[in-house]
Structure 1
Amino acid sequence: MVVKSKGIVLGYLKYGDNSIIVRIFTEEYGYGSYIVNSIRSQKSKKSIGYFQPFSILDLVMYVKETRDLQRISEFKNNYPLHHLHTDSSKSAVTLFLTEVFSKLLQSEQSPNPQLFSFTEESIKKFDYLEEGVANFHLQFLLKVGPYLGYAVDEIEHLFSSTEQTTPSSEEFHRMESLMKEDYGTKIEMNRNSRNAILDAILNYYQHHAHIPKPKSLEILRSILN
């Protein structure tokens, strides 16, 4: 069956001599892996650059229910990203978030239009963000929880369920601001505070969603710090 959908790229692996397997969160089918044939071939008319993390694409796919790995036959940019892959800080945040988000999406094998819309709009805002770039991943991971069934209704819930040490009143206030304020809102914090808050968020998801420690965490911290 030939279907069309918008999709958000979360990463890819080389497959065979000239193909790739792409992890994509699609609007119509949720999270899945898709093969793109011959994209790494010298004769390919399209660049593998289409499949950079958080790219938003229009896709034409061959979908067969009896097959685990579906195939993408056509693709094009739905929304051009201007800064996400050229700014080192944004690239590091993007790499980190796509790794964590992929793990959180493992159970999203069916459509989740609210989650897709939230993620798409967040990416678009991040692309043009000038203030608060170093806080974007914190805000995204706090804000995305309700769409995945891991809502943090109160900051206390981040700590009460994981037996973590309760944060200082200053960090508590910062976390509330990160969760409630729009992306780009100026929220002052130093390296230690940012690292402590990220650790708390990751511990929460590791406890509830059983995700592993992100491999890109140290890369993120070395660039943002």
Structure 2
Amino acid sequence: MTIHHTKGIVLRSVKYGETSVIVTIYTELFGTQSYIVNGVRTTSKKGSSKANMFQPGALLDMQVYHNELKNLQRIKEYRWAHLYQNIFFDVMKNAAALFMVELLQKTLKQPEANQDLYLFIEDAFIHLDEAKGQAIGNFPLFFALHLATIYGFRLNDEYTSEAHYLDLQEGEFTSEHPVHPHFLDNPYSYITSQLLKVMHPEELNQIPLNQETRRVLLHAFQTFYVLHVPDFGTLKTLPVLQEVLS
């Protein structure tokens, strides 16, 4: 079996047997893959440090065995691709990261690789780790909007003073009041337009939002995903994120 070098972000980790885990990782080379990792849940200090590497959101550099015919792969070697300074320890950043991970769990339906998508995800988590001030609370909003763009069902940013309704079903700004309830009006439609214009996460500091505004937008963006991703359901991390951001 061939060995490949790839980076990946951990999406889920489930205990298996006495000392093992089965991890779901979105890899740069193969898209979403499941791996069995033995001996990482031992009582020794070394074992616990290994298990920490498979927390959701962890960025790993791996040598992996890959067999197209198997659903469960194996990892030969692994190490940190990026060692976070804050995400696993800072309550607010951790809540944002877990929200982002769940959004990925619910939307990465196919195993196919997509390097642009992988690089966007990796870059986003590194920037969240480094974020300061307003940018931390705004980060989940930024991530949800720009992830949709890569998936191909982006919101068209054509907001004007006339076209101030954001139709979440159609994914566009319109001057016509939508006949369904899935839309945003000012100030929320305008703020969404501002978030869509953000090209670098540091710019999020220039968009001061309060708790209530973030709450409305997070629920609206969840609705947007429900309308465009089959079987999306609801985000379990959303209430936790809102509580932490309050």
TM bin (shorter chain): over 0.9
Name which one, 1 or 2, has greater alpha-carbon Rg.
2
Give the total of aligned pairs.
224
Partner in structure 2 of residue 212 of structure 1: 233
> 1:164, CA displacement in angstroms?
3.1
User: Which of 137, 142, 148 matches 2:151?
Assistant: 148
User: Which of 53, 56, 59 matches 1:53?
Assistant: 56
User: Which of 180, 194, 197 matches 1:177?
Assistant: 194
Superposition RMSD in Å? 1.8
Partner in structure 2 of residue 158 of structure 1: 168
- Secondary structure of 2:109's counterpart equals coil
- Secondary structure of 2:236's counterpart equals coil
Letter in 2 for 1:97: M
User: Which of 57, 66, 71 matches 1:68?
Assistant: 71
> 1:188, CA displacement in angstroms?
2.0
Letter in 2 for 1:187: I
Equivalents in 2 of 1:166, 1:110: separation in Å? Answer: 32
Structure 1 residue 32 corresponds to structure 2 residue 42: no
- Secondary structure of 1:5's counterpart equals strand
- Secondary structure of 1:42's counterpart equals coil
User: Which of 95, 99, 105 matches 2:98?
Assistant: 95
Equivalents in 1 of 2:4, 2:185: separation in Å? Answer: 51
Equivalents in 1 of 2:104, 2:25: separation in Å? Answer: 11
Q: Which moved more, 1:154-163 or 1:11-20?
A: 154-163
Structure 1 residues 157 and 113, CA gap change in structure 2 (3 angstroms): farther
Q: Which moved more, 1:154-163 or 1:66-75?
A: 154-163
Q: Which runs of 5+ in 1 are unaligned?
A: none
- Residues 62-85 of structure 1: CA deviation (Å, up to 9, x unaligned): 211221111112100111110111
Equivalents in 2 of 1:71, 1:118: separation in Å? Answer: 25
- Secondary structure of 1:169's counterpart equals coil
Equivalents in 2 of 1:202, 1:38: separation in Å? Answer: 38
Q: Which runs of 5+ in 2 are unaligned?
A: 160-165, 172-177
Q: TM-score, normalised by structure 1?
A: 0.92
Equivalents in 1 of 2:245, 2:30: separation in Å? Answer: 34
Partner in structure 1 of residue 120 of structure 2: 118
Letter in 1 for 2:97: T
- Residues 20-64 of structure 1: CA deviation (Å, up to 9, x unaligned): 111111000011221111111236655211112221111111211
Partner in structure 1 of residue 245 of structure 2: 224
Aligned sequence identity (%):
29
User: Which of 220, 223, 229 matches 1:200?
Assistant: 220
> 1:165, CA displacement in angstroms?
4.5
- Secondary structure of 1:71's counterpart equals strand
Partner in structure 1 of residue 207 of structure 2: 187
